[in-house]
Structure 1
Amino acid sequence: MKRRSLPDPDSRTQVLRARRKHTEQVVLAIVFTVIELWAIVAVIVLLDARGVLAVAVALVLSASLIALWDTWRTLLMFGRALRSWLPDEVPAADAEPPRRPSNLVRL
C-alpha cells in the first residue's frame, strides 16, 4: 500500500479527511476480504487438480492470503497511529489552534 503521512492534529479538515479515508479503506478491505475468501473456497471446492496444477493453485492461494494479511496489517497499523496521534475531539471549525512553542532561537 501507499505510504501515508499522519495529518496535522490541529487542522479540522485534515483530521476529518484522515478519519474518512481510513474508514473508506477499512470498508473496501472488508469487501475485498469477503470476495477473496469466497474465491478461495470456490477454488478449493470446485477444482479437481492434480500434479503441477495443484501446486500452482496452492501457490496462488497462499499469495492471495498473504495479500489479505498485508492489507489488514497495514490498515491496523495506520489506524493505531491515527488514534494515538489525533485528539479524541475534533477541533472546532472556527477555533484558533493552540500555539506550539517554537524550537527556534531568537538572537
Structure 2
Amino acid sequence: MKRNTLPNPHSRAEVLRARRKYTEQVVFAVIFTVVELWAIVAVVVLLDDNGVLAVAVSIVLSASLMALWDTWRTLLMFGRALRAWLPEALPAADEKADEKKEPERPPTSLLRL
C-alpha cells in the first residue's frame, strides 16, 4: 500500500493540489452515489424472482450500500482532517522562501495508508 502524507500547509502548491484532489474526490463520489442508487432502484423494481436469486440480489445490494457508506465516511473523514490541517487563507506565492526554511508542521492524528 502506498502511504500518502498530508500536504505542507506552508506550501501554496501543495495546498492547492490537496484542495483540488479533495474536490475531485467529492465529485466522483457524488457521481458514484447517483449511479449506485439508480442501479439499486432499477434492480428492485425490475426483479421478478423469488428464491436463491432474490437472496443473492439482496446480498449484492447490501454490499453496494456498504460501499457507498464507506466511500462517504472516508471522504468526510479526510475532508475534516484536511480542513483542520490546512490554513484558511492560502500561503504567499513565494515558493523560494519555503525551500530555504522548512517550518515545523503541526501534529496530526490522521493516518492514511
Fold match (TM-score > 0.5): yes
- Aligned match of 1:41: 41
Secondary structure of the residue aligned to 1:53 is: helix
Contact 2:12-2:93 at 8 Å conserved across structures: yes
Q: Percent identity?
A: 72
* Aligned-residue RMSD, C-alpha: 1.8
Higher-Rg member (1/2): 1
| Residue of structure 1 equivalent to 2:65 | 65
4+ residue segments displaced more than 2 Å: 2-5, 95-101
Secondary structure of 1:9's match? coil
* Contact 2:12 2:90 survives alignment (8 Å): yes
- Alpha carbons of 1:29 and 1:81: their partners in 2 closer, same or farther (altered >3 Å)? same
Relative distance call for 1:8 and 1:99 in structure 2 (3 A) is: closer
Are 1:24 and 2:27 counterparts?
A: no
Deviations 1:12-50 (A, max 9, x none): 111000000000000000000000000000000011120
1:105 paired residue number: none
Deviation by residue 1:59-100 (Cα, 9 ceiling, x = unmatched)? 000000000000000000000000000000010112635764
Task: Return the TM-score normalized by structure 1.
Answer: 0.86
Distance 2:28 2:103 in 1: 37
SS at match of 2:88: coil
Q: Give the number of the structure with larger relative contact order, counting CA–CA contacts within 8 Å between residues 6 or more apart.
A: 2
